[in-house]
Structure 1
Amino acid sequence: MKNLLITGATGDIAREISKQVQDYRLILLSRDVSSLTDISEHLYQVDLSDETAVNATCQHISEQFGAIDVLINNAGYGYFKPFLSDHTDDMRRMFDINVLATMHITRAFLPDMIAQNSGQIINIASIASYMATAKTTTYAATKFAVRGFSNALRQEVADANIKVLVVNTGPVLTKFHAANPEYLEKVGKNAVTATFVAKKIVHHLESNKRELNLPWQLNLARIFSMNFPSLADKITRRFFNLK
């Protein structure tokens, strides 16, 4: 049986993936696994900001199950805050979880993928990695980093038949935005469900797809912003700074 590992497994998207995926041994990592016992028996509690603990956990998993066939780096979080009111400790922790943990875990499992000449790494980024908006400076910076890391890694592992998929979502109806209902009301129909995102990811398990940009409306906005960046900045300031 192939191994599929998900970090940040208590997140809404991760839980939906866990429900939808079939024919894989499901290995779940989270800070608190108590709510995951009904989903999988292979649960690992670890603080992803603790590199030593992460390395030890990944080594144990590799020794127990062998190579990870699909790695989904889902762990991450964000907040809306003006840059001048952001604190260095908060910024550093977000980079630890959103970026460095993704890199540490990938590095831990990558040698076995290379040895078996197959595998897939799925990194959850954000449309914010293309279209950053006000009050998301630290979050957008981390997601730019995730996308950049993914694109560079894809080049390095191509000859080992390892695929790298980046998932960029706009607003998703999850706990991430639940604390800010006014924002969800503003983005309205552009918000998608965790079930929808999970279905798209599961559909592309072990595929050659390099990037998913969801939903289609924001993907069109992303393409527009890449081709007309100055105009896109003006439009974003007027219509998308809803936080």
Structure 2
Amino acid sequence: MKNMVITGANGDIAREIARQVKGYNLILLSRDSSKLSGISDYLYQVDISDEAALVATCKQISAKFGSIDILINNAGYGEFREFLAYSSDEIRKLFEVNVFALMTVTRAFLPDMIHEKTGKIINIASIASYMATAKSTSYAASKFAVRGFSDALRQEVFDDNIKILVVNTGPVVTKFHQANPGYLAKVGRHAVSTNFVAKKIVANLDTNKRELNLPWQLNIARLFATLFPVLTESMTRRFFNLK
């Protein structure tokens, strides 16, 4: 049976992927594995911002399961305040989780993928990696980093038959927005469900697609932003600063 690792497994999208996917050993990493009982038999509790503990956990997984077929880097979080309201420690912590932990996990499992000449890495980023808005400075920067890392790594491992998929979502109805409960109400019908996002990811486990930009309305907005950046910034200042 193939092996799939999902980080941030208590996240709503991760749990929905775990519910939908079939035919894999589901290996789930979370800060609190007690909440994952019944979802998988292979649970690993680890604080992914603790690099030494994370590396040790990944080594345990490799020793037990061998090469990983699908790695889904789902762990991440965001806080939305004006830039000057963040402390340096808060910014570093966000990058530790959203960027450095993702790179650490990838570094841990990639050598076996290269040796086997097969594997897929799915990095959950954000449409904010294309369209940043006010009060998302640190979060958007971290997701720009995830997308940039993914695009560069895709080229490095192309000849090793390893696929890299970046998932950029707009607002999703998850506990991610609990700290800002009015946000989902403001974005209304543009928010998508975890079922929708998970279904798209599961449908692309075996494809060569390089990016998923969800939903389609925001994908169009992303393309518009690429072509008309000044106009887009003017529009986002007026209509999309909802956090």
TM-score bucket (shorter structure): over 0.9
* Contact 1:70/1:206 (<8 A) preserved: no
Partner of residue 122, structure 2: 122
Give distance in 2, aligned partners of 1:222 and 1:90: 28
1:123 touches 1:150 (CA, 8 Å); kept in 2? yes
Aligned to 2:163: 163
Post-superposition offset of 1:37: 1.2
How much does 1:182 deviate? 1.3
Deviation at 1:180, TM superposition (A): 1.9
The 5-angstrom pairing of residues 179-218 of structure 1 reads: 179-218=179-218
Give deviations 1:62-110, integer Å, cap 9, x for gaps.
Answer: 0000000000000000011000111111100000000000000000000
Q: What SS does the corresponding residue of 1:8 show, helix, strand or coil? A: coil
Shift, 1:203, TM fit: 0.3
Kept in 2: contact 1:4–1:69 (CA 8 A): yes
Please report how far the alpha carbon of residue 186 of structure 1 lies from its aligned counterpart in structure 2 after TM superposition: 0.8
SS at 1:173 equivalent = coil
CA RMSD of aligned residues (A): 0.6
Gaps of 5+ in 2: none
Residue in 2 that maps onto 1:23:
23
- In the alignment, the residues of structure 2 paired with residue 180 and residue 81 of structure 1 have an alpha-carbon distance, to the nearest angstrom, of 11
Per-residue CA deviations over 1:181-228 (Å, capped at 9, x if unaligned) read 211111001100111100000000021010000000000000000000
Using the alignment, how far apart are the partners of 1:182 and 1:59 within structure 2? 42
Question: 1:12 aligned to 2:12?
Answer: yes
Number of residue pairs matched by the alignment? 243
Q: 2:233 and 2:161 mapped to 1: Cα distance? A: 38
Give the aligned partner of residue 136 of structure 1: 136
Instruction: Provide, for residues 152-177 of structure 1, a one-character-per-residue CA deviation record: whole Å limited to 9, x for no partner.
Output: 00000000000000000000000011
Equivalent residues of 1:213, 1:219 under 8 A apart: yes
Q: TM-score, normalised by structure 2?
A: 0.99
Instruction: Could you list the structure 1 runs, at least 4 aligned residues long, displaced by more than 3 angstroms after superposition.
Output: none
Secondary structure, aligned partner of 2:55: helix
Aligned-pair identity (%): 69
Question: Does the Cα contact within 8 Å between 1:163 and 1:206 map onto a contact in 2?
Answer: no
Contact 1:67–1:113 (8 Å) recurs in 2: yes
- Structure 1 residue 38: Cα displacement: 0.7
Equivalence for 2:66: 66
User: How far does residue 179 in structure 1 lie from its aligned partner after superposition?
Assistant: 3.0
Aligned positions of 1:31-180 closer than 5 A = 31-180=31-180
Contact kept in structure 2, 1:12 and 1:174, CA below 8 Å? yes
TM-score by length of 1: 0.99
